A and B are shown apart, each in its own frame.
Chain A
Amino acid sequence: MSALLEIDNLVKAFHGVPVLRGVGFEIRAGTVTGLVGGNGAGKSTLMNLLGGNLRPDSGAMRLEGRVYEPENSAAAARAGISFVHQELNLFPNLTLAENLFLTDFPIRGFFIRRSVLARQAAALLAKVGLPHTPDTPLEHLTPGERQLVEIARALHGNPKLIILDEPTTSLSPPECERLFRLVRSLQAEGCAFIFISHALGDVLQLCGRILVLRDGAVADQGPAGDFTIARLVTSMAGREIKQLFPGRTELPVADADTKPLLEVRGVRQPGVVDNIRFTLRRGEILGLSGLMGAGRTELARLLFGLAPHRSGEILLDGKTLTGGPRARIRAGLALLTESRGEDGICAGASVNDNIMLATLPAHAWGPLGLLSNARLKPVVRKVSESVHLHTRREGAEPLRRLSGGNQQKAVLARWLLAEPKVLILDEPTRGIDAAAKFEIYQLILALAAAGTGVLLISSEQEELLALSDRILVMSRGRLTGEFVRPDFSPESLLRAALAHHHSHPETHP
């Protein structure tokens, strides 16, 4: 029997940064293939290539022996590849039938053929085992049932291959079981699946074959029976550190007497984080690791007063933090946010205005808050030089004209001026070039050496391993591990990051 889908040596790079470095595998009809990998392994890029959202730089895909080069997601669906995404793309205010046929209503002239719609929708709902009538509003369904609606929608075009992206995240164990039964019955009818999940137990239970991606290449593959969770973790984690990092030479004052700079006591916000406790010392770089969606960014925003928490306490230098960002900046906290464009920069404002934004009150004079450009200029120039910021018009140009790396350096400069006691960095090197990365690493080390406590959130494991003195691991809103240098191992970090991604009880005999 020949393969349903053949992937041959796919290569894809973004701005010269390789994301897929020659991925190849085969999928046979009527099989379920588990696809696992850590953050940045290349899973999403691979799926985007399959779904027609991106085109490969080189390599080939064949579907049933014919060349498969989808122009867009509609072409992928026509060719027989359907996606069920992690975030459900459903409309709670519409009925099940409307959700199922949103892009493809049966029509006569200008009008929807209600009876045909109802008949076809009922058939699809029966196929996934949902007892509801087609005119039930989606909002009456549980998350698990909605997941089944997503699958029913994917089934609409009689696909040959369905890709399930983290379908079990929001499901209860019985709902999971129901989903798995459905997958098996569709599999028996000849439909193939790719199952992407961090719940390794589920992967082992459901899948026939397993494919492990790491750093844009296939790190391991084989029949699921040959795998254990331990082998999966080892394959996902890898071992070598390939990038260049400045060494962590200065170590923080390991003085047990000094009270912690930042102390987080049992912080909890339902649905976001639960019982977070840790401390951060002067001059320490504390890494915060975890998979996407583990709650790291949410924790950072909560610490900075951008989001509320229901219980627990946050202390900086022994004083409880309250209020919004403004009060917390004054108390000595700073946050470099995860998405620069969204809430890190004013893209249209000048580089200099961006740098000064957080520290204007310190330079304003009198009740009218007057500012002297002559006095601000040297301040900006000095900090720009210290972060090696490259501008063309002495920082008068709009910030959006600078490269991503230089934009990020400008944001760092803004926080350096505020002289925070604790600096939270959320993905500080995302989307920037290698040279700027290296400079930012050096800045982080210099800051720590000068006594600043740094909380470093990063999805790049090598970065965390190279810079941190201590690493905390989060999973599903909880802290699930703490590792102190030199006891770092990619494997144990990953194991902690995968904790709480529980498979349902029958998974582990």
Chain B
Amino acid sequence: MIQRLASSEFFVLGLCALLLAGLGPFTPGLLSAQNLVNVLAAMLPLLLVAAGQTVVLIGGGIDLSVTAIIALASVAGAKIMTLSGGWMAAHPAAVPVAVGAMLLAGFLTGLANGIAIAWLRMSAFIVTLTSLMAVSGLTVWFTDSKNIADLPPGFFSLGQRLPPALGMAAGALALTHLMLTRSIYGRWIHAVGHNAATARVSGVPVPLITALSYTISGLSAGAAAILLTGRLETGSPVLGQTMMLDIIGAAVIGGTSLFGGRGNVLWTVSGVLFLTLLDNALNLRGLSHFVIMMIKGVVILLAAGLDVVRRRGQEE
């Protein structure tokens, strides 16, 4: 019964509804239109980077470096377009070039992770963890630990006005979803996550697929950096630093397995929605940041426990 319920695709959406129905009447402002729009806007960057993480998890890996990639992309883009001493300050192409550079920073870091994991056969855990450390260090060193402000207004409208941000996130999600469900690469990523040895014997280019999944994750972190930097109106060397557990947590709450082979970016959308709503509701109820951290930690731990229950259910 618990297993049946937990495996349902609508389980998490049901939890979201429960959360709203349960806390709404006692939490002033939770159900207001303005608040729900805020929740939606706050979701989008997390959604992008969690979707990329979902791809890596399905392939049987894990990417712990994404928060560092977000910060790197943020300062790289900001350094190009800032009006106070940017490399392309006030140049008409500054914003597009900066956006491109942010995506490129994510792409390249992800590719480097992927190459180390796929061809050098290093452990994903240690590669992305050291990558987190090195890239974070690079970012702070590069900026002298200072924020880069004075970004052109044309850029931060991208992160602040809902329609462009929503369009970008929806587009990226749809693309990722199609790739996972309707393309050969998606099938291959699933197969590698289920059993890489079988995939290899069946002619799947396993290293290529592994590298691809980390590259997608890096790229999605770069995209998330665009939205986050726009919301903040500054390039920050510590951007996204506290997001790591939310990213993996959202994917796992959605139902993507930490054991590989099983997952879906649409599930991750529900996971992100749930975590963001929970965060928002607890904030509105005036709980301290640390209490919220404790509650979220427990929720994500429960989700990881459910993952084990689901896996057992499948094995019977």
* Chain A interfacial positions (CB closer than 8 Å to B): 304, 306, 324-326, 329-330, 335, 337, 342-349, 353, 356-358, 360-361, 364, 368-371, 373, 398, 400, 414
Contacts of A371 in B (CB 8 A): 182-184, 187
| Residue in contact with A348 in the complex, picked from B204, B205, B262, CB distance below 8 Å | B262
B197 at interface, CB cutoff 8 A:
yes
Contact with A along B181-212 (1 / 0, CB 8 A): 01111011011001101111111110000000
Supplied contacts A326-B205, A347-B194, 15 more A-B pairs, CB within 8 Å: A306-B201, A326-B203, A326-B204, A343-B197, A345-B198, A346-B198, A347-B195, A348-B314, A353-B190, A357-B202, A360-B188, A364-B184, A369-B184, A370-B183, A400-B314
- Residues 226-270 (chain B) with a chain A CB within 8 angstroms: 261-262
- Across the A-B interface, give the 7 residue pairs with the lowest CB-CB distance, nearest first: A346-B194, A369-B184, A343-B197, A364-B184, A329-B203, A358-B202, A326-B203
B305 CB to closest chain A CB, in angstroms?
19
Q: Which among A335, A348, A369, A371 has the greatest number of chain B C-beta atoms within 10 A?
A: A348
Q: Can you pick out 28 interface pairs between chain A and chain B where the beta carbons lie within 8 Å of each other?
A: A306-B201, A325-B203, A326-B204, A326-B205, A329-B203, A335-B201, A343-B197, A343-B200, A343-B201, A345-B195, A346-B198, A347-B194, A347-B195, A348-B194, A348-B262, A353-B187, A353-B191, A356-B187, A357-B191, A357-B199, A358-B202, A358-B203, A360-B184, A360-B187, A360-B188, A361-B203, A368-B179, A373-B182
Contacts of A370 in B (CB 8 A): 182-184
Q: With A360-B187, A369-B184 given, is the CB distance from A342 to B197 under 8 Å?
A: yes
State whether B261 touches A349 (Cβ < 8 A): yes
Contacts of A342 in B (CB 8 A): 197
Q: Which residue of A lies closest to B205 (CB)?
A: A326
What CA separation (Å) do A358 and B261 show in the bound complex? 17
State whether B203 touches A348 (Cβ < 8 A): no
B315 at interface, CB cutoff 8 A:
yes
- Residues 144-190 (chain B) with a chain A CB within 8 angstroms: 179, 182-185, 187-188, 190
A65 CB to closest chain B CB, in angstroms?
46
Contact with A along B112-150 (1 / 0, CB 8 A): 000000000000000000000000000000000000000
Contacts of B201 in A (CB 8 A): 304, 306, 325, 335, 337, 343-344
What CA separation (Å) do A155 and B202 show in the bound complex? 48
Q: Is the interface of B mostly helix, strand, loop or mixed?
A: helix
What CA separation (Å) do A234 and B136 show in the bound complex? 72
Contacts of B187 in A (CB 8 A): 353, 356-357, 360, 371
Contacts of B199 in A (CB 8 A): 346, 357
Contacts of B195 in A (CB 8 A): 343, 345-347
Q: With A347-B195, A348-B261 given, is the CB distance from A361 to B315 under 8 Å?
A: no
Contacts of B183 in A (CB 8 A): 364, 368-371
Contacts of A368 in B (CB 8 A): 179, 183
Contacts of B203 in A (CB 8 A): 325-326, 329-330, 358, 361
Contacts of A364 in B (CB 8 A): 183-184
| Residue in contact with A349 in the complex, picked from B182, B191, B197, B200, CB distance below 8 Å | B191
State whether B184 touches A325 (Cβ < 8 A): no
State whether A349 touches B204 (Cβ < 8 A): no
Contacts of A306 in B (CB 8 A): 200-201
What CA separation (Å) do A342 and B194 show in the bound complex? 11
What CA separation (Å) do A345 and B204 show in the bound complex? 13
What CA separation (Å) do A306 and B194 show in the bound complex? 19
A344 CB to closest chain B CB, in angstroms?
6
Q: Which residue of A lies closest to B186 (CB)?
A: A371
B223 CB to closest chain A CB, in angstroms?
19
What CA separation (Å) do A337 and B261 show in the bound complex? 21
Contacts of B202 in A (CB 8 A): 325, 329, 357-358, 414
What CA separation (Å) do A406 and B210 show in the bound complex? 30
B197 CB to closest chain A CB, in angstroms?
4
What CA separation (Å) do A346 and B179 show in the bound complex? 20
A449 CB to closest chain B CB, in angstroms?
25
- Residues 270-316 (chain B) with a chain A CB within 8 angstroms: 314-315
A303 CB to closest chain B CB, in angstroms?
13
| Residue in contact with B185 in the complex, picked from A344, A357, A369, CB distance below 8 Å | A369
Q: Which residue of A lies closest to B187 (CB)?
A: A360
What CA separation (Å) do A358 and B202 show in the bound complex? 5
Q: Which residue of B lies closest to A364 (CB)?
A: B184
What CA separation (Å) do A348 and B198 show in the bound complex? 12
Contacts of B191 in A (CB 8 A): 346, 349, 353, 357
B150 CB to closest chain A CB, in angstroms?
40
Q: Which among B200, B202, B204, B315 has the greatest number of chain A C-beta atoms within 10 A?
A: B202
Q: Which among A306, A349, A358 has the greatest number of chain B C-beta atoms within 10 A?
A: A349
A334 CB to closest chain B CB, in angstroms?
9
